[in-house]
Amino acid sequence: MRRSISNYDLIRYVVAFVFIVSGLMKLTQPNMLTTFSEIGIPFPYYMMYVLALLEVILGLLISINKWVRNATLPLIIIMITALAFTKLPVISNGIIPFLFQSRLDLTILILLFVLYRSSNKISF
């Protein structure tokens, strides 16, 4: 018997995958510390590990459908902050380059909002 996956579950899996992989990259790639320092994040060494752990843990919670609403809020804040630090400086080159550079971040941010709005009805 074939079981179809709901749109909600598909969004959860995609968002969870993105944040788990992003967190693991921060934990395993030494050049990430340089990136954090160059873009001006305060306390880059500590923030890199805090963000990495948050992304992995919250991504796992979303993937297993536990506390999805609570897990999405910190990730929304992380995404808005990431946009401000990494993509907003590009706006000086024009709106189209900014939109192009930020398209995936904005997509994930929108998916997080969808999960946040939908999770209180579905999550357990």
Secondary-structure percent of the chain, ordered helix, strand, coil, rounded to 5: 85, 0, 15
What's CA 103's distance to the chain center, in Å? 13
CA atoms within 13 A on the CB side of 52: 16
Output the pTM of the full model.
0.88
C-alpha R_g of the chain: 16
pLDDT at 122: 52
The pLDDT confidence band at residue 124, using thresholds 50, 70 and 90, is very low
pLDDT in tens, 28-86: 998 999 999 999 999 999 999 999 999 999 999 999 999 999 999 999 999 999 999 99
pLDDT at 123: 46
Report CA torsion sign: 13, 58, 90, 27.
Answer: negative
User: Could you tell me the residue ranges of all domains in the chain?
Assistant: 7-122
